[in-house]
């Protein structure tokens, strides 16, 4: 008799544990997996906020984001006031300096620097260039890294974008679907709205990896537009390898 009661108790306990595990949906699991890889970006020169994500590329860890966040740093150029002052007095504008700061999921601040980007600066007419690769500090090695996908996303495919669409809400992870391919294949539309600060957010298929980077949104409904990572993957790797070779 005691054995039977013990067996029943064990079965009951097992059912309770299984039931508890069943409460964690696939959607929530995917969100929890993504969040630790996402960082909030603050650029002191550009006075801009955005999103980035930790990615493993060729066995090394980087932070990937959207290049347009950093255009004022990459190609600052003089302001109208500075240009007029230079013409009148010959006084050159002061060199703009400042740190690119990021906050990780635990709220820790890190300083990073730019590793690679396309030399084409007009990302609005050349959306395939709206990517940038930045350093990933070694003290962030405990955080998981995402993988860039080489497999094209499909129309209607369910994916997640994860980022910081404003300064107060923390990490947002939203399920959405892939829409039309646009811009000669370099971009895809999303069926989910994005907001200011979401630029640089990864678009992730849990089975494929990062299939896109949120770069724009439509003016009408605010739905997101993402750079199609598999479409530009070879181009990104060529630029990264060239920039790394030039660094040594």
Domain ranges of the chain: 36-246
Phi, psi of 107 (to 5 degrees): 85, 10
From CA 126, how far away is CA 17, in angstroms rounded?
Answer: 52
Q: How far is CA 105 from CA 100, 131, 143, 232, 243, in A?
A: 17, 22, 9, 28, 29
Q: Quick check: helix, strand or coil at residue 111?
A: strand
Closest CA to 148 of 207, 202, 210, 208: 210
The span from the CA of 236 to the CA of 173, in Å, is: 25
Distance CA 127, CA 123 (A): 5
Residues facing 226 on adjacent strands: 188, 214
Which CATH topology does 36-246 take?
Thrombin, subunit H (2.40.10)
Give residue 168's pLDDT: 57
Residue 42's contacts (CB-CB under 8 Å, 6 or more residues apart) are 48, 49, 100, 101, 102, 103
Half-sphere exposure of 88 (CA within 13 A, CB side): 6
Q: What's this model's pTM, rounded to 2 decimal places?
A: 0.81
What pLDDT tens digit does each residue of the chain (248 aa) get? 444 445 444 444 443 333 434 455 677 777 788 899 999 998 888 777 899 999 999 999 999 999 999 988 887 565 666 566 666 776 655 555 578 999 998 889 999 999 999 988 888 899 999 999 999 999 999 999 999 999 998 999 999 998 887 655 678 888 999 999 999 999 999 998 887 888 999 999 999 999 999 998 876 777 899 999 999 999 999 999 999 988 64
- Helix or strand (DSSP H, E) at 17: helix 2-22
């Amino acid at each position: 008799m005691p054995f039977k009661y013990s067996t029943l108790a064990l079965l009951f306990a097992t059912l309770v544990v299984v039931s508890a595990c069943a409460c964690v949906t696939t959607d929530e699991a995917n969100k929890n997996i993504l969040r630790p890889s996402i960082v909030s970006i603050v650029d002191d020169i550009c006075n801009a906020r955005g999103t980035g994500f930790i990615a493993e590329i060729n066995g090394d860890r980087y932070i990937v984001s959207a290049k347009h966040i950093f255009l004022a740093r990459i190609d600052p150029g003089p302001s109208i006031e500075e240009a007029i002052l230079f013409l009148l007095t010959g006084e050159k504008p002061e060199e703009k300096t400042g740190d690119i700061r990021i906050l990780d999921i635990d709220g820790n601040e890190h300083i990073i620097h730019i590793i690679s980007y396309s030399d084409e600066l007009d990302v609005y007419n050349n959306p395939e260039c709206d990517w940038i690769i930045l350093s990933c500090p070694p003290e962030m090695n405990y955080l998981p890294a995402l993988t860039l996908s080489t497999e094209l996303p499909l129309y209607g495919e369910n994916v997640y974008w994860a980022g910081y669409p404003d300064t107060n809400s923390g990490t947002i992870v939203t399920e959405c679907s892939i829409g039309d391919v646009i811009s000669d294949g370099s971009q895809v539309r999303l069926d989910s709205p994005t907001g200011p600060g979401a630029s640089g957010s990864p678009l992730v298929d849990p089975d494929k990896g990062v299939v896109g980077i949120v770069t724009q949104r439509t003016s009408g409904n605010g739905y997101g537009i993402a750079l199609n990572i598999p479409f530009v993957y070879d181009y990104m790797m060529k630029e990264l390898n060239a920039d790394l070779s030039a660094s040594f």
